[in-house]
Structure 1
Amino acid sequence: MRGRISSTAMADSPRLRRPIATNRRAKHDYLFLEEFEAGIALLGTEVKSLRAGRASIQEAYALVKHDGVTLIGANIPEYPQAGPKMNHEPTRARRLLLHRKEIERLFKKVREKGVTLVPLELLFDGHLVKCRLALARGKKLHDKRSSEREKEAKRDMARAMGRRR
């Protein structure tokens, strides 16, 4: 039994969370109202491709229906070592795993005008693949300009504070 870690020690250690793909454009285009984390139903070759760090969620969005939530437009490229019959379709719709009450709540929120469900990040949580989602409302042009102004002001203040030291 020397060299092994007991199951209780494994349960106490924090799980490693490692990002795979982020949607950096979402922060610029949307105002986030609420964030969620969901599991994803994936095929084996998709997980292997994700472990290699190959994925894109820039054009992705989530569709909420009564029976569940689906991630559409996420691009997980084919796994090159798998044969042509074993591989997956890169942009297929993937089912997101949420609790029934969360799905119902999201369904009600998304029916409001201008509210959508946007994927923010794909990440490994231990050995599981998770998707961070946000209920979001699209920013208007003047909102984008004001947030850009605020970001620039913070940057200028940080520079000024750095020079004084």
Structure 2
Amino acid sequence: MKKEKNENLIAQNKKAHHDYFIKDTYEAGIALTGTEIKSVRARRINLRDGYVQVINGSAFLENVHISEYKQGNRYNHEPLRSRRLLLHKKQLQRLAKDQSTRGIAIIPLKVYLKHGFAKVLIGVGQGKKKYDKRESIKKRDQERELRRQYKI
């Protein structure tokens, strides 16, 4: 997959790679209302506790907080509502199969703008145990120390 520019990156779930082994990723569009897209462009979105649920052949982004738009007055949206994800039928079938597997979670990794549309990168991940998390922290620290030594 081609890398996006950082200026298009809106939000990122940094804890996802710490808590899960990410096996597969999918890019999906998000069905947003007018005030929601304005809040997203203002970077007022939080992915931390979000997850994806497949219900009746449709994927929904759950528990993702998009703050209310300040100038939205009575047309404002509910911050924690379910948002429909736009995916191909085969991708939805794969996600439904993965969701039914025990120990697998479907989580949002990034939200970014692509050609003016809000996209979300969702990952199919398997939860890490405590010893896996400690091992990944140890590995990251070793890599950081190696880079520091070779830089000097």
TM-score (norm 1): 0.86
Could you say which residue in structure 2 is the equivalent of 1:114?
103
Which whole-Å CA distance do the structure 1 matches of 2:121 and 2:32 have between them?
16
1:33-44 equivalent positions in 2, closer than 5 A? 33-44=23-34
Contact 2:20 2:127 in 1 (8 A): yes
Indicate conservation of the 8 Å contact 1:75/1:91, yes or no: yes
Q: How far apart, CA to CA, are the structure 2 residues paired with 1:39 and 1:130?
A: 5
Match of residue 88 from structure 2? 99
Could you report, residue by residue, the CA deviation over 1:26-65 in whole angstroms, capped at 9, with x for unpaired residues? 1110100001000000000001111111110101110112
Q: Which amino acid aligns with 1:82?
A: G
Change (3 A) 1:34 1:103: same
Instruction: Tell me what 1:131 maps to.
Output: 120
Secondary structure in 2 matching 1:38: strand
Deviation at 1:15, TM superposition (A): 9.4
Larger relative strand fraction: 2
Unaligned runs of 5+ in 1: 1-13
Residue 31, structure 1, aligned to residue 17, structure 2: no
User: Which letter maps to 2:107?
Assistant: V
- Answer yes or no: is the 8 Å Cα contact 2:57–2:93 preserved in 1: no
The 8 Å contact of residues 15 and 125 in structure 1, kept in 2 or not, is answered as: no
- C-alpha displacement at 1:162, in angstroms? 1.3
Structure 2 unaligned runs (5+)? none
In structure 2, the residue matched to 1:6 is none
SS at match of 1:153: helix
Q: How does 1:3-152 map to 2 (within 5 A)?
A: 18-83=8-73, 85-152=74-141
Which structure has the bigger radius of gyration? Answer: 1
Distance 2:144 2:94 in 1: 38
Contact kept in structure 2, 1:62 and 1:117, CA below 8 Å:
yes
Number of the residue aligned with 1:8: none
Could you tell me which residue of structure 1 aligns to residue 147 of structure 2?
158
Q: Is the 8 A contact 1:34 1:134 kept in 2?
A: yes
Q: Once superposed, which parts of structure 1, at least 4 consecutive aligned residues long, lie more than 2 Å away? A: 14-17
Question: 1:69-91 CA distances to partner (integer Å, 9 max, x unpaired)?
Answer: 100011111111111x2100011
How far does residue 17 in structure 1 lie from its aligned partner after superposition? 6.8
Aligned residues: 149
